[in-house]
Structure 1
Amino acid sequence: MKLRTGIKRYLPKGLFGRSLLIIVLPVALMQVAVTWTFFEEHWETVTARLSESVAGDVAMITELYQDQPGEFERIASTAYSTMGLSVDLREGDALPTARRTAFFRALDRTLRRALANELDEDFWFDTTRYPEYVDIRVAVADGVLRFIVVREQVFATTGHIFLLWIIAATSLLTAVSIIFIRNQVKPIRQLAEAAEAFGRGQDVERFKPAGAREVRQAAHAFIDMRQRLKRHMEQRTALLAGVSHDLRTPLTRLRLQLALMEKSEEREAALKDLAEMEEALEEYLAFARGQAGEEPGPVDLTALCHEIGENVRREDGADIEIEAEEGLVLEGRAAPLKRAVTNLVQNARAFATRIVLSARRVEDRIEIAVDDNGPGIPPDRRGEAFKPFSRLDEARNANRKGVGLGLAIARDTARAHGGDVRLEDSELGGLRAVLSLPA
C-alpha cells in the first residue's frame, strides 16, 4: 500500500500526461528490451568472436616472432597481407602503464578477456586513441610488439547505429504521440472551461463540440443541459415576476386602506406586518431570481466595498471600517455581488457594535471578509446557517430581521461566480464571514 501511494505521488495528474505515459512507457520499455536483447544476444556475441579472432592472430604472430626472431620482417609482411595486422617491433621499449577506458566498457572487457585467454605474455591495448584503429602491444624478450588493428576487425561497429535508430524511432513516436494526444485533450479542456464559465454565469455561446466521438457526445449533453437550465431560469424568472405583480397589487391596496384609517395601535401593527410581508416578498424574489437579468462585466470590488460601507453608515449610523486593497477587479455581475456583501454586513450589523469590511487578493483569489465583535455562531451550527429559510434560535440569529435567506443568497451568488462563502472565528471576538472569489 505504501509503495503504491509513493508511486502515485510521482505519476502525472493531468489527462495529457497520463495518456502520454500510457503510450510512451510501453514503447520505451519495448525499445529497452529490444536494445538489451540486441546487445546481449547479438552485438556482444559478435564482438566476442571478432576479439577472439584478433587475439588468436596476435598470439600466433607473437609466438612466430619468439620462435624466429630473425624473421621479423617476413612475419610482419605475412601478418599484414593475410591478417590485416600492422606489426612493429620496438626494441628496448616497455609497456605503457596508463590505461584509457572506452565509453562502452564492454568493448575493453571483451578484448581484454580474449587477449588474456590467448596470450601468456603481458599486454596492453588502447581502443580510444585512434577512431578507426585499435592499438595492441605485447611484451617480448627484446622489447614490445605493437599491433595496429582495424577497429572493424575487433568490434562490431554497427552497435551505435542501432542505438541511434532506436533513439530516433522513440523520439519520433513520442513527438507523434504528443501531437495526437494534445489534439484529443484540447476539446476536453475546452469543455471543462465552458462548464466552469457557465457555472460562473458567463456566456458560452461560442463553444462547439469537437474531438473524439465520446467527447463530442459529452459536449452535446452539456449544451442540452445548458439550454434546459437557461429555459428553467427564464421560466422561473417569468413566474416570479407574475407572482410579484399579483402580490404587490393587493399589498398596495392594503397599504392604501391602512393609510386612510385613523391612527391607532392596531393600524400601526398592521402597517408593521405589511412592511414585513413586503420585505419578505423582496427577499424571496431576490433568492429565486438569482443571477437573471444582468450580463457579466468588470466589477470593481474596491469601489463596491466603499459604496456598501457608506450606505451602511448613512442608513444605520453603524461603526464600520473599510480596509480594501486598490485595483480589485473581476469579471462578474455587480448587483448580485453587491447584495451578497450587503447581506453579510447586515447580518453582522444586527448583532455587533463594530464591523470591519476588508477586501484583499490572496494568491489567485479575491477575499471579501466581514468581521464583527458580536456573539458569533458555534462551529457546529455554521452549516445550518447557510440553509434557506433557516433561523438560529441561540444568542445570534444570522437572519433574524429577514426570513433566513441572507447567507443563502450570499453563498448562492458566490458559487455562481465560481467561489464560496465560509464562516470563521473573528479576531474581533465575533464572527468572520469570508466571500472568496476567483480573481
Structure 2
Amino acid sequence: MRLRIPSTPVMRRLIKRSMPTTLFGRSLLIIILPVALMQVAVTWVFFDAHWQAVTSRLSDGLAGDVAWAVESYMDDPSPQALAKLTNRAERSMSLSIALQPGRTLPVGRRPALFAVVDRSMEKALAARLDAPFWFDTTRYPAYVDIRVQTPQGVLRVLAPRERAIATQGHIFVLWMTIATLILTAISILFIRNQVRAIERLASAAEAFGLGVDAPAFKPHGAREVRQAAHAFLAMKSRIQRHIDQRTALLASVSHDLRTPLTRLKLELALAEPTSRTAEMKRDLSEMEHMIDEYLAFARGEGGEAVETISLKALIDEVSEGALRAGAEVQVAVDAELTCAVRPNALKRALSNLIMNAAVHGERIEVSASARPTGGVEIVVDDDGPGIPEARYEEAFKAFNRLDESRNQNEKGVGLGLAIARDVARGHGGDVTLARSPLGGLRAVVRLPG
C-alpha cells in the first residue's frame, strides 16, 4: 500500500482553516508566535547547554565525594572509623552517611521529572564506584538518596539536592513565563485598541448602509485607520448630498406631475359621463399608479427612522388589501414577534408581495417566525401559476415583466419584487423566491435581528 502525502494546496487549505479569522487574532498571532518561539528556543538552549552542563558537573563532584566515603569505609569498616567518617563527611561535605547492616540494594526506582538528572547521576556514579549502587532523586524534595552495596551491608548517603542538581533552573523558566505573559498582556492591550478603531469604522459603515446615521463616530486610532475613517466620512457626505438632491428633485417631479393629473381628473369628473370619459379615467388611474411606483422605487425609504414594531399587526394591516381584492388570506404570526425595522418601508415591501400574490392566486398564506440564527423570516405563499425556477433572479430586475407567467397585471410596471428586495437589503436582509407548497410562488423575506 502506498502512503499518500497531502499535496501542498491541501496543506495550505488546512493551515488557512486553522488560522484566526479576525484581525485581532491574526495580529496577536503575529506578535505572540515569534515571542513564544524565541522563549522556547532560549529555554531549550539554556537547559541543553547550561543547565545540563552544570548538573553534570555537580553530579560528578558528588559522585567523587561518595566514592571517597565508600573507599574510606572499605579501608577500615570498624564502628569507630565509621563514626569518624560520618562526622567528617557531615562537617566538610554536608553528607549524611549511615550503615544499614545486612541490607541489600532496592530493586527499581522512580524516574525523575527531567531524565537528564538521572542520566548524569548514573553516569557519574558508574565512573567513580566499582561496587553496585542505587540512587533516587525523587523521594525526598531536598535530598538525593544514594546507596552502595558493601560486604557489611548497604552504605546509605543522603546528599543535599543542590549538590547534585542545578536547582535554580525552574526560577529561570518561571521568569521566562512571567515575561511572556506580561508581553502578551501588553500586546493584547495595544492590539485591542487598534482593532477597536477598525471595528467602530466598520460599524459606522454598516449602519450607514442600513440607513442609520452614526453622528457620534469620530476617526481615531492609527494614522492609516484615521485616513480610512476620513475617507469614509467624505464618501458619506457626498452620498448624503446626492440623496438630498435626489429627494428634492423627486419632490419637485412629484408635484409637477400630480398637478396636471389632478386638473385632468377634475375636468373628467365635471364632464358628461360617457364611454370615452370612463376610458380616460382608467388611463389616468393607470398613469397615477405607474408614477407612484416609479417614485417609490427611485425614492426608497432610507430617511425613515427604525422602530420596533409588532409584525402581526403590520401583516394583518397589509393583508386587508388582499382580502378586499377577493383573495383568501391566512395569517400565522405570533403576536409577540417583534422586529426593528422602518415600518413604512417594510409595509410597502410586504404589500407588493402580498398584493402580487392576490393578483395571481386565490389562496394566500402569510407566516412569520424567529430565525435560529437571529432575526425574523416572513413567508408569503400563493397558489398561482408561479415563476420558472430559472427566472427567479430575473424577476427581481426593475421594470422586468414576466408576461408568460406572473406579470399579467395591466397596472404593473415590473417594480414590485425589485422594491421588496431593495427594502429587505436596505435592512440588511434579502428576499428570495421558491416553489410554494400551494403550487404557486413562495417569497421569503429574511430580516436581521
Query: Is TM more than 0.5 here?
Result: yes
Q: CA deviation at 1:293?
A: 4.6
Structure 1 counterpart of 2:286: 276
* Alignment of 1:330 onto 2:339: yes
**Residue 350 of structure 1 aligns to a residue in which SS?**
helix
* Alignment of 1:69 onto 2:69: no
Q: CA separation in 2, counterparts of 1:115 and 1:99?
A: 15
Aligned match of 1:353 in 352, 362, 377?
Answer: 362
Q: CA deviation at 1:98?
A: 5.4
Aligned match of 1:135 in 125, 145, 151?
Answer: 145
Say which is worse superposed, 180-189 or 266-275, in terms of deviation: 266-275
RMSD over aligned CA atoms reads: 1.7
Q: CA separation in 1, counterparts of 2:446 and 2:400?
A: 22
Q: CA deviation at 1:398?
A: 7.9
Question: How many residues of Structure 1 are paired with residues of Structure 2 in the alignment?
Answer: 438
Cα-to-partner distance string for 1:296-345 (whole Å, 9 max, x where unaligned): 222221211121123321x2121011011232222221101000001011
Q: CA separation in 2, counterparts of 1:357 and 1:328?
A: 14
Shift in alpha-carbon separation, 1:418–1:87, aligned structure 2, 3 A: same
* Structure 1 contact 348–372 (Cα < 8 Å) conserved: yes
Q: CA deviation at 1:183?
A: 0.9
* Structure 1 contact 391–400 (Cα < 8 Å) conserved: no
* Alignment of 1:101 onto 2:115: no
Say which is worse superposed, 20-29 or 80-89, in terms of deviation: 80-89
Structure 2 counterpart of 1:52: 60
Structure 1 spans left out of the alignment, 5+ residues: none
Q: CA deviation at 1:430?
A: 1.4
Structure 1 counterpart of 2:175: 165
Q: CA separation in 1, counterparts of 2:125 and 2:385?
A: 93
* Alignment of 1:148 onto 2:158: yes
* Alignment of 1:36 onto 2:44: yes
Q: CA deviation at 1:399?
A: 6.7
Say which is worse superposed, 398-407 or 373-382, in terms of deviation: 398-407
Q: CA separation in 1, counterparts of 2:220 and 2:417?
A: 40
Say which is worse superposed, 53-62 or 234-243, in terms of deviation: 53-62
Q: CA separation in 1, counterparts of 2:419 and 2:383?
A: 23
Cα-to-partner distance string for 1:141-168 (whole Å, 9 max, x where unaligned): 1101111111111111110000100110
Cα-to-partner distance string for 1:7-38 (whole Å, 9 max, x where unaligned): 22222111111111111111000000000000
Shift in alpha-carbon separation, 1:5–1:292, aligned structure 2, 3 A: closer
Q: CA deviation at 1:220?
A: 1.5
Cα-to-partner distance string for 1:102-145 (whole Å, 9 max, x where unaligned): 33333223212322232232222222233222111111111011
Say which is worse superposed, 196-205 or 26-35, in terms of deviation: 196-205
Q: CA deviation at 1:100?
A: 2.7
Q: Which amino acid aligns with 2:23?
A: L
Q: CA separation in 2, counterparts of 1:253 and 1:398?
A: 30
Q: Which amino acid aligns with 2:43?
A: T
Q: Which amino acid aligns with 1:62?
A: V
Q: CA separation in 1, counterparts of 2:28 and 2:139?
A: 43
Q: CA separation in 1, counterparts of 2:254 and 2:260?
A: 11
Shift in alpha-carbon separation, 1:433–1:119, aligned structure 2, 3 A: same
Structure 2 counterpart of 1:298: 308
Say which is worse superposed, 30-39 or 400-409, in terms of deviation: 400-409
Structure 1 counterpart of 2:20: 12
* Structure 1 contact 237–292 (Cα < 8 Å) conserved: no
* Alignment of 1:319 onto 2:343: no
Q: CA separation in 1, counterparts of 2:410 and 2:333?
A: 28
* Alignment of 1:201 onto 2:192: no
Cα-to-partner distance string for 1:243-281 (whole Å, 9 max, x where unaligned): 111111111222223333333333222221111110000
* Structure 1 contact 399–405 (Cα < 8 Å) conserved: no
Structure 2 spans left out of the alignment, 5+ residues: 1-8
Cα-to-partner distance string for 1:369-399 (whole Å, 9 max, x where unaligned): 1011112111221111111111112222287
Q: CA separation in 2, counterparts of 1:179 and 1:33?
A: 26
* Alignment of 1:343 onto 2:352: yes
Structure 2 counterpart of 1:27: 35
**Residue 355 of structure 1 aligns to a residue in which SS?**
strand
Say which is worse superposed, 346-355 or 263-272, in terms of deviation: 263-272
* Alignment of 1:234 onto 2:244: yes
Q: CA separation in 2, counterparts of 1:292 and 1:73?
A: 101
Q: CA separation in 2, counterparts of 1:336 and 1:385?
A: 20
Say which is worse superposed, 239-248 or 115-124, in terms of deviation: 115-124
Aligned match of 1:250 in 246, 260, 267?
Answer: 260
Q: Which amino acid aligns with 2:317?
A: E
* Structure 1 contact 137–145 (Cα < 8 Å) conserved: yes
- Structure 1 segments of 4 or more deviating over 4 A? none
Q: CA deviation at 1:241?
A: 0.8
Structure 1 counterpart of 2:447: 437
* Structure 1 contact 359–366 (Cα < 8 Å) conserved: yes
Shift in alpha-carbon separation, 1:400–1:46, aligned structure 2, 3 A: farther
* Structure 1 contact 295–333 (Cα < 8 Å) conserved: yes
Q: Which amino acid aligns with 1:63?
A: E
Say which is worse superposed, 204-213 or 108-117, in terms of deviation: 108-117
